[in-house]
Amino acid sequence: MDFEAEIKKIQERNKRVELDKAWETSNARKVSIALLTYFTMVLVMYSLDMDAPFIGAIIPTLGFTLSTFSLDFIKEIWKEF
C-alpha cells in the first residue's frame, strides 16, 4: 500500500467536503436561491394571470429564504430535548 497516496486522497476529499460545506452556508447560495425562487414565482403567477405577480412573488420568496436560515436558537432548544 502507498500510504502517502492514500493520505493525499483523503486530504483532497476533505478539501472538497469543506468547499461543499462552505457553499451550503454561504450568502451567495442564499441570494441565488432567493432570486431563482422570485423569478420562478413571477413566471408562475404571470402565467396564471394573477394580479401583481411582481409583488405577489415576494411572499413565497421570503418564506423559502427564511427556510434556508439555520435558526440557531431553535437548534439550541432542540438539543435540550
Q: How many domains does the chain have?
A: 1
Q: What is the pLDDT of residue 49?
A: 96
Q: Is residue 33 part of a domain?
A: yes
Q: Is residue 77 part of a domain?
A: yes
Q: What is the pTM of this model?
A: 0.69
Q: Is residue 18 part of a domain?
A: no
Q: Is residue 50 part of a domain?
A: yes
What is the C-alpha to C-alpha distance for residues 22 and 70, in angstroms, rounded to an integer? Answer: 14
CA torsion 15-16-22-25 (nearest 10°) is: -140
Segments forming the whole domain that contains residue 78 = 29-81
The answer to whether 32 and 64 are in contact (CB under 8 A) is: no
Q: What is the pLDDT of residue 35?
A: 95
Q: Is residue 38 part of a domain?
A: yes
Q: Is residue 19 part of a domain?
A: no
Q: What is the pLDDT of residue 1?
A: 67
Q: Is residue 45 part of a domain?
A: yes
Q: What is the pLDDT of residue 68?
A: 78
C-alpha cell at 64: 423559502
What residue ranges of the chain have pLDDT lower than 50?
none
